[in-house]
Amino acid sequence: MEIPERWRKTNLASMSNSEIEEMIADMRKADRSVNLPIPFLPETIHKISAMFHCKRCGRCCIGGAEGVFLNQLDIKRLSKGMEMSEKQFVDEFTFISDGRHFLPFPCPFYDAKSSLCIVYQFRPDKCKLFPFYPSSNITITQDTNPSANKVSAISISVRCPEGRDIAMRLLKSYRDSNKR
């Protein structure tokens, strides 16, 4: 789904708390993630991840746009953990889109009764990072030098209740630190 039109060119520094909350609610309805003006680097992910306390609601496992992307290491780790060949794992649990492997939603490894992942100890990298991941369309220059390396901004899924709360806190903090 598209980002709601009214939020496409919003100046975060001028938004009120209620406008930030309204923007996040609109992004959630559109099943969009919120991009934050924070670089997706190990130290920032570590700091933000410390704010995250999973509520075990299962929203990360039961729905989303396309499924959970699996890289080759994910496939190797999952198949080994499940004591099956990579081919057997891929054939039994994944689908291919644009030449890439995905787990479908709802995730076949989510146990709704216990709200637990049955392959938690060898879950995919994307699941380890959820609700945080690199933005696919926003980059940040890490230096005042325009030719410096650019890194992806952090994107937070607001489908996750805890992700939504963290996004609100970080957006408000960013806005407050950039007010003039």
Pairing relation of β-strands 132-141 and 116-117?
unpaired
Residues sharing a CB contact under 8 Å with residue 70, sequence separation 6 or more, in sequence order = 78, 94, 100, 101, 102, 103, 124, 126
DSSP states along 132-150:
EEEEEEEEEESSSSTTSPE
- Taking only the tens of pLDDT, the chain with its 180 residues reads 445 566 555 666 677 888 888 888 877 776 777 877 778 888 888 888 888 998 888 888 987 667 899 999 999 999 999 999 999 999 999 999 999 999 999 999 999 999 999 999 999 998 998 898 887 766 666 555 555 567 788 888 888 889 888 888 888 887 787 765
